[in-house]
Amino acid sequence: MGGDHAPEIVVEGASEAKIRYPDIEFIFFGNKKILEPLINGKNNLSGSEIVHTDEAINSNDKPSYVIRRGANTSMALAIKSVRDKSNAMVSAGNTGALMGFSKLFLKTISGINRPAIVACFPTKQGEVCMLDLGANIECDKNNLIQFALMGQAFAKIVIGVKNPKVSLLNVGEEEIKGFSYIQNASETLKNLSKIINYCGYIEGDRITEGLVDVIVTDGFTGNIALKTAEGTAGFFTNSLKEALKKSIFSKLGYFLAKNSLEGFRAHMDPRKYNGAVFLGLNGIVVKSHGGTDSFGFANAIGVAYDMAKYNFIEDLKKKLSITTKHLDL
Amino acid sequence: MGGDHAPEIVVEGASEAKIRYPDIEFIFFGNKKILEPLINGKNNLSGSEIVHTDEAINSNDKPSYVIRRGANTSMALAIKSVRDKSNAMVSAGNTGALMGFSKLFLKTISGINRPAIVACFPTKQGEVCMLDLGANIECDKNNLIQFALMGQAFAKIVIGVKNPKVSLLNVGEEEIKGFSYIQNASETLKNLSKIINYCGYIEGDRITEGLVDVIVTDGFTGNIALKTAEGTAGFFTNSLKEALKKSIFSKLGYFLAKNSLEGFRAHMDPRKYNGAVFLGLNGIVVKSHGGTDSFGFANAIGVAYDMAKYNFIEDLKKKLSITTKHLDL
């Protein structure tokens, strides 16, 4: 029931995802009266399980309030289902509430102190994943090391790189740059070269270069960097659109260039990268952008599908158990 | 002598600036044998004062080393000249060394604990200035408040807004977001409404909206945000160029749209925004991008010119004395 266009685009997105991944089975959580006709309107979804509840979380509900009172909301029931029987959960709802319930019902994996939010972005060469995007304002050395391990396991499955390159976001490439907890994390990651393909620091202007597969930072910086990139991208796209509408010549020019611009547009399409994941929990929870459409929602489902199918959590646990043998995290 | 194309573009840039601001007088610091023919090759510069020195700072010299040994370098002499007789100094050289010498020779203004780096960027509506862009990795509440006051005085003169709107960069707009030192700074700035036009928090995706004139943050976050924006902008521009070169149709399309794109390109031109300023010192020091051309360097000179002409430092000192009456900073 969460997001700007729910539940319509959620059901639409599920139907699109089912075409791509026919072995998915969906359980829908929410108001049965609204959901049932939507679901039965889709051939490939009709008859899917619906868990009815009248309660839903609003986008502006305070997480702390919701977590005390919202145990019967569609969001809470869906996350409990991940704990009890589902392989993964996708929601376009309130991020803070989703994180709160996820921590409460799923708990963090042993060896992970705090979950982190990860997502993928387009670069000059393929994609990059970045974490933490805002779950933890303040981080320490161990958080960064755990984020690096989680990011690596995530990139392997979701981007599909064999031995993902991992970097720490910093204000320079020299060892002496940035906060000491970043320097200490860097030192430790260098000593984990058998477990992780650590490539040193990366600066903000190289995030989009595609030189590494995983960029690790604290949740404050990650959130600012992500949003700054989104804002700049939006600013460019809009300014360009305005410019191309200016004259009859530019309109004609745009028409002629349209095919060539299509690839560019497709590569940048934010819907393609929809699906931020809460990593570090005993369960897969994917947060879709609240304003996305069915194509975007289907992509978020795709992320959840890949993570479940390719045993993300088992893979991460294995990595963590090897690491804790090497280190005292 | 600093920067990738010095001293040629420095002299060229000075000549271009002199056309715009005929009342500027230049003193050039560096190797007289190289500088003299360049300067005398420009009609409007010929006969300018040259302070000769054989020593210059390299772009990869360590600031700590340079500050101990580099008292006779062109950079050090130019900054001493700001202390002793010049109104402002512009350099395209080593940023760390420039900051080190500036602190050493100019000292911070009374009421300012630490200098900050500020620069302007294009937005949907005009420009915005942001600070700190990297002088201080770790900041406290008082630093942020002082940055806000400095940024306001800077925007008034350099962007030319009467009552600049000032915001703190944060991961959300609600009061409870972010680090407590940001929340405390926000609280204090609200109480300074007679002195500063404080508009609350701003998120990364709204930096380019042009809703405020000054964005205040710590040097770590500011550096990451600035570079992320630069990287994203570069990524878009390059991807677009590539796309437009793809076919004969897109090339023709680009040709037709060229005029309309010109305004867009001009608004985004990084050379227009060249000139980062070290604020909070007893003197005006402007850092030009090392890789800029003469047009960019002339713009950095323009920033220094405006700050000197419109008494930036006196203006800031006045503001600080009123503020300290209100607060114990």
B257 and A236 within 8 Å at the Cβ level: the answer is no
Residue A241: its pLDDT value, please? 82
Cβ-Cβ pairs closer than 8 A, A with B, add up to 197
- Two structure tokens written together for B4: 């990738």
Q: Which of B204, B246, B257 lies nearest to residue A227, judging by beta carbons?
A: B204
Strands lying side by side in the sheet with A165-169: A88-91, A284-287, A276-279, A116-122, A127-131, A214-216, A165-169, A197-202
Q: What residues of B are in contact with residue A201 (Cβ under 8 Å)? A: none
Residue B295 at interface with chain A, using a CB cutoff of 8 Å: no
Residue B236: its pLDDT value, please? 86
**What was the ipTM of the complex prediction?**
0.89
Residues of chain A with pLDDT under 70: 327-329
A205 and B240 within 8 Å at the Cβ level: the answer is no
Residue B228: its pLDDT value, please? 95
Nearest Cα of chain B lies from the Cα of A86 at a distance, in angstroms, of: 32
What is the DSSP track for B266-320?
A: HHH-GGGG--EEEETBSSEEEEPPTT--HHHHHHHHHHHHHHHHTTHHHHHHHHH
- Two structure tokens written together for A162: 């064999």
Q: What is the pLDDT of residues A86-130, one digit of tens each?
A: 999 999 999 999 999 999 999 999 989 999 999 999 999 899 999
Nearest Cα of chain A lies from the Cα of B165 at a distance, in angstroms, of: 19
Nearest Cα of chain B lies from the Cα of A254 at a distance, in angstroms, of: 6
Q: Best residue in A220, A248, A249 to probe B by mutation, most B CBs within 10 Å?
A: A220
Nearest Cα of chain B lies from the Cα of A266 at a distance, in angstroms, of: 12
Q: Which of A238, A250, A259 lies nearest to residue B256, judging by beta carbons?
A: A250
A232 and B234 within 8 Å at the Cβ level: the answer is no
Residue B191: its pLDDT value, please? 92
Max intra-chain CA distance, chain A: 67
Nearest Cα of chain B lies from the Cα of A222 at a distance, in angstroms, of: 9
**Residue B101: what residue type?**
F
Angle between helices B312-326 and B141-158 (to 10 degrees): 140
- Is this model's pTM higher than 0.95 or not? no
For chain B positions 157-176, those within 8 Å of chain A (CB to CB) are: 169, 171
pLDDT mean for each 10 residues of chain B (329 residues): 93 97 96 96 94 92 88 96 97 94 95 94 93 94 96 93 96 88 96 93 94 97 95 87 82 81 82 93 96 96 96 90 71
A224 and B169 within 8 Å at the Cβ level: the answer is yes
Identify the structural domains of chain B with CATH numbers, from first to last: 8-111+280-312 (3.40.718.10), 116-272 (3.40.718.10)
**Separation between Cα atoms, residue B36 and residue B76, nearest integer Å:** 20
| Residue B263 backbone class (left: φ over 0; alpha: ψ -120 to 50; beta: rest) | alpha
b/e for A91-118, b at 16 or more Cβ within 10 A? bbbbbbbbbbbbbebbebbebbebbbbb
Q: Which of B179, B224, B242 lies nearest to residue A225, judging by beta carbons?
A: B224
- Two structure tokens written together for B264: 């867009």
Cα distances from B53 to residues A172, B13, B14, B28, B60, in angstroms, run: 31, 21, 19, 10, 19
Q: Which of A134, A239, A255 lies nearest to residue B264, judging by beta carbons?
A: A239
A231 and B223 within 8 Å at the Cβ level: the answer is no
- Two structure tokens written together for A30: 């929410």
Residue B327: its pLDDT value, please? 67
